[in-house]
Amino acid sequence: MTRHMKMDNADTRRRLDDMVQGAVGAPLDRPDGPLKVTGAAHYAAEQPTDALCYGVLVRAPAAKGRLLNMSTNAVMALPGVLAIVSDERMLRNPAQGTANEAPVQGVHEIAYFGQPVALVVAETFEQARHAAQALQLHIETTDEAALDPLAVEPEIPEDKQSSMGDLDAAMKNAVYRVDETYTTPSHSSAPMEPHASIAQWEGEQLTLRGSYQMLKYNRNELADSLGIEPKNVRILAPYVGGGFGSKLGIAPEAVAAALAAKKLSRPVSVAMTRPHVFETTMRRSETRQRVRLAADAQGRLTGIGHETLVSNLPGERFAEPVTQATAFMYRGENRIIGQKIARLNRTCAGSVRAPGEAVGVTIVENAMDELAEQAGIDPVELRKRNIPEEDPTRQVPFSSHKLAEALDAGARGFGWEKRNAIPKQVRDGEWMIGMGMASAFRVNMLKEAQARVRLNANGTAEIESDQTDIGTGTYAILTQIACDMLGLAPENVTVRLGDTDLPPGSGSGGSFGAASNGTAVFLACEELRLQLATAAGCAEPDLTLKDGKAIVGNRQVIIAELLPSTALEATGHIEPGDASSKVRQATYGAYFAEVAVSAITGETRVRRMTGAFAAGRILNAKTARSQCLGGMVWGIGMALTEALEFDPRYGQIANHDFAEYHIPVNADVPQIDVILLEEHDDWANPLQAKGLGELGICGAGAAITNAIYNATGVRVRDYPATLDKILPGLET
């Protein structure tokens, strides 16, 4: 039985409110927790496998060129070496998210420094690592590599330019205006688990244990890369050690492992080294953003300009969607939104946690801070004055809009009223103290997803989907939805994920995983409820399920007694529909930060942070809060330390490791308050839940850099705000 739903209109039934089990929204511990804290959860490279051999990728030591040949014979003669794979089917770079087909392939045309050009396979990891290092590559470098985004003639795609009204006139007539250019550097997702795959063939059938986010696409991408049928590919990824966008599309190690395993008729394990992860998985493009804000005497925006320059490799369709939220963030009838793309010989650019808003909202929120100061209006108030009545670009209503509430709740929780609006007024010894804030915006999405729910004769339930849990809490929230819909305790619900043999979920990405797959589970459960109601002889709405019992009127029976001797099974299937075009759906929030900047060294430490967020119904208070914490800490990294540093001559990422690409450590992160607002967005899906995995980073960095300004009077418009950029503005 399949229950299908296309989200064309608001679903105002709010069925979850009818349920009495009380699991949805509760701070349930992750069901996968005990396995993870004991080391018993097997990640990609950890599946015990007989006769396993190890492959190590070889990186191109040039940003552009042609691979002519390599010292194959000498390396094959090294102890333990089994094969050197350098095959035109190998991937130049990972597939973009939802590509569903192979990315650019080939090892001979080198397009960026670090591109994998060979895989060396040996009996042991130690042998393979040394052999990979020993492989001499003969590379012809004829053309000069394009390494500087400002030095190349950019593409100006027509579909990425838009305008409304007359921004130039609005700027001219404005009482207050901001016209500044900001830059953000390239970032790396840098998940803690490096990308890894174990490939194993049985005849024509390939099984890949990988670390991936979107298995239904990854299967097709892997099959297409290898030139085989998708039905011959099975991908398993029950536990994924973080993704943040970098594991959306099939990556070079998977295809290389599959090719080697085929060649050797043996299972092959390939794990990227940490430098490989930096060099050959997706980076967030650096951005150059010119922001223009025109405002009247009350600070109401009359115009917004947001023009950006990003980069990517030749042949990549993805361009960092920097202005994605600019269209609906604030009022203003005169607009110019534009994007240029520089084609560079740099690591492929793709999705990194909150593509678009993470850098785009952050910069607009910096410009808003500059406007607030100029106009002498409190930054919170300025934002509230500019909340539009409807989507100002598409002229459709908002499905729900909780920015004002988030601003108020955040300001209250943080103690914003204590802020001194004049910079450089608050000192604590050598530390200059400042407060800053920013709004959060993130588009909300629903994606096609299926899930199967089986109610067993013993009254337990199983949920099955190829959906992944990359740390987002999928295991927990799917459990909770089934608990409520079927009246079961969490220990009686089992969730199986991350296997392409199971019904295709949405995949993890774009914050749509919980809502999309949760809806699929919800629909399957609705179908099961209908069947239980029929068995109980009542209408489905009259059926109450709780603690394994069905209650109809004053009658109460064990659910298992209503079941046939075999399991009852249903599949839920959700598809996005017209709802997304009829209304503007988004999530909103507000960040508040207090920083301390050393008046001596310019070092910045975040002292405290508060985030208030509205993302529809909260499915699990604990994991939702964790998602927000994580996003805000990414904001700390973006604001203060994170930047991929490219050598201007060779094009390599100089800081391609965790010692020098500085993600925040524990000591960088203060206690953070997260306020989750109550919201039910009927247009989003039948759960009224929206995405939360990315909202925490969509402007968080601006709260910190705005706080640095408040502390020091220094505007850092070139991220990150490392001490060298603050020092020149400090008193001697």
Partner 1 sequence: MKTDLLINGNRRTLDADNRTSLLDALRHHLGLTGAKKGCDHGQCGACTVLINGRRINACLTLACMHDGDEITTIEGLGSAEALSPMQRAFVNHDGFQCGYCTPGQICSATAMLEEIEAGWPSHVTADMTAKPSLDEHEIGERMSGNLCRCAAYPNIVDAIRDAAWRDQE
Partner 2 sequence: MKPFAYDRATHPSDIAFADAGAAIIAGGTNLLDLMKLEVMTPDRLFDINRMDLSSIQQTENGGLKVETLVTNSDLAADMRVRQHWPVLSRALLAGASGQLRNKATTGGNLLQRTRCHYFYDTAMPCNKREPGSGCGAMGGVNRINAVLGTSDKCIATHPSDMAVALRALGATVEVRKKSGAVQSLPLGTLYVLPGDTPERETVLEAGDLITAVCLPPPVKGRQIYRKVRDRASYAFALVSVAAVVEVVDGKIARADLAFGGLAPVPWRDGAVEELLIGNAPSTSLFDAAADQLLRTAKGHGGNDFKIPLARRTLKAVLEEATR
Does position 611 interact with partner 1 (CB under 8 A)? The reply is no
Residue type, 356: G
Smallest distance, partner 2 to C-beta of residue 192, A: 15
DSSP-assigned letter for residue 94: P
Per the CB < 8 A criterion, the answer to whether 262 and 337 are in contact is no
**CA 470 from centroid of its chain's CA atoms:** 10
Report the partner that residue 194 touches, choosing among partner 1, partner 2, none (CB closer than 5 to 8 A by kind).
partner 1
Phi and psi at 402, nearest 5°, equal: -115, 25
Report the partner that residue 239 touches, choosing among partner 2, partner 1, none (CB closer than 5 to 8 A by kind).
partner 1
Residue type, 645: E
Residue type, 550: A
Smallest distance, partner 2 to C-beta of residue 603, A: 6
Which of 379, 664, 691, 701 binds partner 1 (CB under 8 A)? It is 664
Pairwise CA distance, residues 136 & 159, whole Å: 44
Does position 51 interact with partner 1 (CB under 8 A)? The reply is no
Smallest distance, partner 2 to C-beta of residue 401, A: 37
Which of 172, 542, 654, 678 binds partner 2 (CB under 8 A)? It is 654
> CA dist 279 to 102, 222, 232, 370, 500, Å?
19, 21, 30, 36, 28
Which of 2, 124, 133, 163 binds partner 2 (CB under 8 A)? It is 133
Does position 34 interact with partner 1 (CB under 8 A)? The reply is yes
Pairwise CA distance, residues 627 & 630, whole Å: 5
Cis peptide before 720 (omega within 30 of 0): yes
Which of 240, 640, 692, 700 binds partner 1 (CB under 8 A)? It is 240
Residues 98-127 that bind partner 1 (CB under 8 A): 124-127
Does position 253 interact with partner 1 (CB under 8 A)? The reply is no
Instruction: Please report where in the chains the tokens 């966008």 appear, as a residue.
Output: 245
Q: Which stretch binds partner 1 (CB under 8 A): 28-36, 336-344, 433-441, 596-604?
A: 28-36
Does position 68 interact with partner 2 (CB under 8 A)? The reply is no
Per the CB < 8 A criterion, the answer to whether 11 and 579 are in contact is no
Report the partner that residue 369 touches, choosing among partner 1, partner 2, none (CB closer than 5 to 8 A by kind).
none
Strand (E) positions, 641-702?
672-676
Which of 318, 634, 683, 709 binds partner 1 (CB under 8 A)? It is 634
Q: Whose Cβ is closer to partner 1: residue 43's or residue 330's?
A: 43
Q: Whose Cβ is closer to partner 2: residue 18's or residue 126's?
A: 126
Give the chain's count of helices (H) and strands (E).
19, 30
Per the CB < 8 A criterion, the answer to whether 708 and 469 are in contact is no
Q: Whose Cβ is closer to partner 1: residue 297's or residue 659's?
A: 659
Residue 254's contacts (CB-CB under 8 Å, 6 or more residues apart) are 195, 197, 199, 208, 210, 212, 218, 222, 270
Alpha-carbon dihedral angle through residues 451, 453, 454, 460, given to the nearest 10 degrees: 140
Does position 140 interact with partner 2 (CB under 8 A)? The reply is no
CB-based burial label for 159 (10 Å; 0-12, 13-18, 19+)? exposed
Pairwise CA distance, residues 245 & 546, whole Å: 38
Does position 40 interact with partner 2 (CB under 8 A)? The reply is no
694 is catalytic: yes
Does position 627 interact with partner 1 (CB under 8 A)? The reply is yes
Which of 3, 15, 59, 292 binds partner 2 (CB under 8 A)? It is 59
Per the CB < 8 A criterion, the answer to whether 438 and 362 are in contact is yes
Q: Whose Cβ is closer to partner 2: residue 34's or residue 79's?
A: 79
Which of 8, 36, 139, 489 binds partner 1 (CB under 8 A)? It is 36
Q: Whose Cβ is closer to partner 1: residue 294's or residue 629's?
A: 629
Does position 663 interact with partner 1 (CB under 8 A)? The reply is yes
Report the partner that residue 430 touches, choosing among partner 2, partner 1, none (CB closer than 5 to 8 A by kind).
partner 2
Which of 399, 655, 685, 706 binds partner 2 (CB under 8 A)? It is 655
Does position 607 interact with partner 1 (CB under 8 A)? The reply is no
Which of 470, 478, 619, 716 binds partner 1 (CB under 8 A)? It is 470
> CA dist 416 to 51, 251, 543, 651, Å?
61, 45, 48, 44
How large is the C-alpha radius of gyration of the chain? 26
Residues 684-723 that bind partner 2 (CB under 8 A): 722-723
DSSP-assigned letter for residue 499: B
Pairwise CA distance, residues 387 & 586, whole Å: 13
DSSP 279-291: HHS-EEPPEEEEE
Per the CB < 8 A criterion, the answer to whether 354 and 170 are in contact is no
Residues 91-120 that bind partner 2 (CB under 8 A): 113
Choosing from 193, 320, 357, 694, which is the catalytic residue? 694
**Binding residue count for partner 1, defined by CB under 8 A:** 64
> CA dist 17 to 224, 378, 527, Å?
44, 39, 17
Cis peptide before 103 (omega within 30 of 0): no
Length, in residues, of the chain: 732
Report the partner that residue 242 touches, choosing among partner 2, partner 1, none (CB closer than 5 to 8 A by kind).
partner 1
Strands 65-70 and 137-140: antiparallel
Residue type, 98: T
Residues 185-214 that bind partner 1 (CB under 8 A): 189-194
Q: Whose Cβ is closer to partner 2: residue 62's or residue 477's?
A: 62
Q: Which stretch binds partner 2 (CB under 8 A): 304-312, 369-377, 549-557, 656-664?
A: 656-664
Report the partner that residue 602 touches, choosing among partner 1, partner 2, none (CB closer than 5 to 8 A by kind).
partner 2
| Residues engaged in binding partner 1 (CB under 8 A) | 29-30, 32-43, 45-46, 48, 54, 124-127, 130, 189-194, 239-244, 271, 273-274, 470-473, 622-623, 625-627, 629-630, 632-634, 657-659, 663-667, 669-672
| Residues engaged in binding partner 2 (CB under 8 A) | 59, 61, 79, 113, 126, 129-130, 133, 430, 600-603, 605, 640-641, 645-650, 652, 654-657, 659-660, 662, 664-668, 722-724, 727-728, 732
Question: Would you name the residues annotated as active-site residues?
Answer: 694
